[in-house]
Structure 1
Amino acid sequence: MSRRPAQPPPRGARSRRPRSSSRLRGWARHHRAMCLDSALRLVRRPVGSLLTMLAIAIALVLPATLWLTLDSARLLDAELEESATLTVYLEPLVAEAQAARIDEALVAHEDVARTRLITAAEGMAEFQQALGLADALGRLDENPLPASVVVTPVDPAPEAVRALAERLETMAGIEEVRLDLAWIERLRHLAELGRRVALALAVLFGLGVLLVVGNTIRLSVESRRQEVEVVTLIGATHAFVRRPFLYSGAWYGLGGGVLAWGLLTVGSGWLAAPVSALAASYGASFSLPRLGLSGSAILLVCSTLLGWLGAWIAVSRHLAEVRPR
């Protein structure tokens, strides 16, 4: 049985795959060449490039500093919320044994994390020590202070704490429940104000970065106007013409991000000792926040994207004005 000879594939089908792969390789080679060429152009003008990157860095330092400060304030806010407590005052005629049973009932409550019982004698001792009136208060015939229980709620949210206080007031032997949530609400309002201020400054300084990069790229387009006219005349696309300037903007943004990271690191190290000494004078321990690995990556990515976007806006605006003569 004879076999029919295999038919050769059509010429177009045979050459389609090599042509597409060669286009992809050419596209990658051009990207690599433009990336290297734009970096070399910045190196050939070190002073101007450094000044542009420094302007970008200064525009990025303040929003990044506010972001770090708000992040540390958020952690402090969480710690303070965890310390939110209620003070449960027992009735004056409640004996210590009954106060202990009330404390056990409060501990068993599902919305109570922990409690601390303060008997009338312990309350008087703390009061005398705080005011320094041990002799005067010691002359009293009887202790006027009632026993109290300091309650730490499971949920420190103000709404949950208020609901817990209302439920505890209905228990037998409890005369009054006091809570002070004003400082938590003030702290939340300050944190929200700080977040909005940081966001507004980030937007404003981000626009500043776009203007700096855009003006620099605009001057670069004008200096290479004849080159752009020639490649446009021979049929180059806008993407082809725009590519080297986009890489230049990305390099400017990346360099500005690196300088901003360096300024933040040096500034944090320079202020670390005075801040720690000031916190220690108040009996607290506090250290300046640092960017860390994720924060550094976010800063560099954002600065690079801002540089790229500023270059894209500038080139897109001026590319239509560049016409072959």
Structure 2
Amino acid sequence: MSRSPAPPPRGARTHRTRSSSRFRGWLRHHRAMALDSARRLLRTPIGSLVTMLAIAIALVLPAALWLTLDSARLLDAELTESATLTAYLAPGVDDGEAGRIEEALGAQPGVARTRLITAAEGMAEFQQALGLTDALARLDDNPLPASVVVTPEAPAPDAVRELAETLGALSGVEEVRLDMAWIERLRSLAELGQRVALALAVLFGGGVLLVVGNTIRLAVESRRKEIEVITLIGATHGFVRRPFLYSGAWYGLGGGLLAWALLTLGGEWLAAPVSALAASYGASFSLPRLGAGGSATLVGCSILLGWLGAWIAVSRHLAEVKPR
């Protein structure tokens, strides 16, 4: 006959019950403080909206700059992918020899594909580009050499430079031209922009802390008597600090949502002119969007800054509030 397990000691059951009760009470107090903080903000809608708008403006500027740099990185990736080499053949090379040199270039490791431009084709393209068909047609000899456009497999600048040196050493190749300087300038400009965006983010983040901190400081001063009373009956600093922290988080949430709305509306407003400008140059370009991850990051950082600003302000001024 099996025996039923012995019940746990009464002291253990009492300890678990008390722990569960304290946890439920802690959750109830957090929920009450969050709702009370939201109600206090709604009682002063104009002041709360001004504070949230100041937070939003401080967040929009570095976020917009970062989106611009993100579009520059995408453009840099597209330009790097389309990087090509032009191998100019030696003067006097006929079309048959040029075809054999093209095959030799295409057989080199690191070459994805090649395209031969004969001397006659090069002259025709030159005439069409400059609009000097009649003047150039009077020339006795074609001064342009044949050339081979080489597309590398690896678009990395170092790999392309190494491939250019290899191709330039082949027989029949007079010169290999690679114009990567403008791409490197674009990358340097993007790197500079990233550092500027980071500096602006830190600067405006400090501005958010000051805005929220000053607002919470005024709230602490307006409730000084209440804080003194609850401190006299044994309230801890954590208990007193909690509603102000929720107020800072609400300010941050509102500021983050306003910043997201401003970025979205601004992107929609500028989308048509930017697309028209890109189309005038024969390209297709659209402004980058925040996306779900970027939106969550923006709002999350705003909430964190609001909470941190409130914590700093309350911790600083709570020590000055002494019961009398």
Alpha-carbon displacement from aligned partner over 1:88-138 (angstroms, at most 9, x marks no partner)? 011123222222222222223221222221111111111111222222322
Q: Give the corresponding residue for 2:113.
A: 114
Q: Give the corresponding residue for 2:181.
A: 182
Q: Give the corresponding residue for 2:167.
A: 168
Change (3 A) 1:106 1:226: same
Q: Give the corresponding residue for 1:157.
A: 156
Q: Give the corresponding residue for 1:65.
A: 64
Change (3 A) 1:9 1:61: closer
SS state at 2:36 partner? helix
SS state at 2:217 partner? helix
C-alpha deviation, 1:11, in angstroms: 4.1
C-alpha deviation, 1:12, in angstroms: 2.7
Q: In structure 2, what residue type is equivalent to 1:278? A: L
Q: In structure 2, what residue type is equivalent to 1:226? A: K
Question: Please, which moves more after superposition, 222-231 or 246-255?
Answer: 222-231
Q: Give the corresponding residue for 1:126.
A: 125
Structure 1: segments with no counterpart, 5+ residues: none
SS state at 1:105 partner? helix
C-alpha deviation, 1:155, in angstroms: 2.3
Change (3 A) 1:283 1:9: closer
Distance 1:163 1:243 in 2: 62
Count residues with an aligned counterpart. 323
Alpha-carbon displacement from aligned partner over 1:19-74 (angstroms, at most 9, x marks no partner)? 11111111111111111111111111111101110111111111111011111111
- Aligned pair 1:13/2:12, yes or no? yes
SS state at 1:287 partner? coil
SS state at 1:321 partner? coil
Change (3 A) 1:264 1:7: closer
Q: What is the aligned-residue RMSD (CA, Å)?
A: 1.9
Distance 1:214 1:180 in 2: 52
Alpha-carbon displacement from aligned partner over 1:141-194 (angstroms, at most 9, x marks no partner)? 332211101112222222222111111111111111111111011101110111
Change (3 A) 1:124 1:7: closer
Q: Give the corresponding residue for 2:319.
A: 320
Q: In structure 1, what residue type is equivalent to 2:309? A: G
Q: Give the corresponding residue for 2:227.
A: 228
C-alpha deviation, 1:6, in angstroms: 9.0
Write out aligned runs for 1:171-320 (5 A). Answer: 171-320=170-319
Distance 1:132 1:153 in 2: 32
Write out aligned runs for 1:133-148 (5 A). Answer: 133-148=132-147
Change (3 A) 1:108 1:237: farther
Distance 1:146 1:6 in 2: 97
Distance 1:324 1:114 in 2: 82
C-alpha deviation, 1:260, in angstroms: 1.0
Over the matched positions of the two proteins, sequence identity in percent amounts to 80
Change (3 A) 1:13 1:178: same
Distance 1:178 1:110 in 2: 18
Q: Give the corresponding residue for 2:100.
A: 101
Question: Please, which moves more after superposition, 282-291 or 119-128?
Answer: 282-291
Structure 2: segments with no counterpart, 5+ residues: none
Write out aligned runs for 1:46-65 (5 A). Answer: 46-65=45-64
Distance 1:264 1:197 in 2: 19
Distance 2:60 2:7 in 1: 65
C-alpha deviation, 1:7, in angstroms: 7.6
Distance 1:117 1:306 in 2: 59
